[in-house]
Amino acid sequence: MLLGRMLRNLRGRDWFSVGVELFVLVVGIVLGLQASDWANERRDRAEERDYLRRLLEDNTANQAIVERGLGRNRHTAELARSIADALATADRQPDPDAMTTALCKWFVQPVLHLQRSTYAEMISSGKLLLLRDQRLRAQLAEEDAAHDEVHRLDVLIAPMERAAQPLERHTRWYIDGSRGSADLSRGTAACHFDVDGMRRDPDVQSALAQAYRYEVLFALFHERELKALAATRDMLRAALGEPETAPKPNAN
């Protein structure tokens, strides 16, 4: 009897209306999901573009910083070469400014403070996957590795100091331009060189060659940094739909 009532109720239902309601429900769910996916995709693309612009700004700043470091290394290397040539020639005197620039603590390499916060933020937050271009993600990792390679050159500081010891034998340090303890910021540590003693000391030429070699080495690693930065820049500009800039002439 119960089964009969159920069958009569089923036969009495308006299945067309039920089908329409079910269709409207399914369509509504699908449209809602698509609208949510569209909103998420739009948000992700806006966030991706924001990161691309920030990365490009960091890239531009870092190129200028590394170019200055590279210029310093090349300049110091050339000064070391000119000093060595002058000391090897009896009738030539080394340029005092070159001596001061190249030999007063020449083994100290100024730290290049690069803008890497955007990339570090993307790594730590998992936002790197917002970048759809897998090649760009790989290039950013390659650039980051190039920066780290330069930092690892800090291991050369100790041998650079040892290489400078022959120069220290002929160097006298003094405070130039000091206005007393009340104004210590005006004092400058300078050095004076015994040129005649440097000419007689065979180890000095070796030390100058080491100075030249280290500066060239740092320049080589900075050139690698610049190459990686340039490749990243081109890919970032392409991702942003910006025209590529003309390549800079070789600084050599």
- pLDDT of 181 reads 47
Backbone angles phi, psi at 176, to 5 degrees: -110, 130
- pLDDT of 73 reads 93
Torsion of CA 168, 172, 176, 181, to 10 degrees: 90
d(CA 41, CA 25): 24
Q: Give the pLDDT means over successive 10-residue stretches in the chain (252 positions).
A: 57 61 72 70 89 96 96 93 93 89 75 92 94 96 94 82 86 71 58 91 92 92 96 96 62 46
CA-based nearest residue to 56, from 119, 103, 2, 9: 119
- pLDDT of 252 reads 46
List the chain domain ranges.
49-178+185-240
A 10 A CB-CB count for 173 gives: 12
- pLDDT of 47 reads 94
- pLDDT of 174 reads 84
Query: To which H or E segment does residue 50 belong?
Result: helix 15-87
Torsion of CA 237, 243, 246, 251, to 10 degrees: -10
d(CA 80, CA 211): 7
Residue with tokens 């650079």: 160
Instruction: Specify the long-range contacts of residues 83-88, CB closer than 8 Å, at least 24 apart.
Output: 83/208, 84/205, 84/208, 84/209, 84/212, 87/195, 87/198, 87/199, 87/204, 87/205, 87/208, 88/205
Query: To which H or E segment does residue 172 belong?
Result: strand 171-176
- pLDDT of 91 reads 87
